[in-house]
């Protein structure tokens, strides 16, 4: 039984090391890029200045998520 535990821990360690060089959240980056495009489209067609400011705030939050997810532009 202890041998199985050691093998399981070793397998997890190898898997974790192999993932260390991969992009951190590739699916999140795709979703963030989609959100950016949607917000920019709404921002360009917003009728009022208040709406444009609100969309700019949303875009800032999206950029913050992109930074956390380590997305490259």
Summarised one tens digit per residue, pLDDT across range 36-52 is: 888 888 888 888 888 88
User: What does the alpha-carbon distance between residue 68 and residue 62 come to, in Å, rounded to a whole number?
Assistant: 10
- In this prediction, residue 25 has a pLDDT band, given cuts at 50, 70 and 90, of low
pLDDT at 6: 73
| Helices of type H across 20-70 | 26-45, 49-68
- In this prediction, residue 28 has a pLDDT band, given cuts at 50, 70 and 90, of confident
Radius of gyration of the chain (CA): 20
Kindly list the domain boundaries of the chain, sorted by start residue: 24-73
């Amino acid at each position: 039984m202890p041998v199985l535990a050691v093998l399981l821990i070793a397998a997890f360690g190898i898997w974790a090391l192999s993932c260390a060089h991969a992009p951190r959240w590739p699916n999140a980056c795709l979703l963030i890029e989609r959100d950016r495009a949607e917000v920019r489209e709404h921002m360009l067609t917003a009728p009022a200045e208040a709406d444009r400011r609100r969309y700019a705030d949303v875009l800032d939050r999206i950029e913050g998520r992109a930074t956390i997810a380590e997305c490259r532009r």
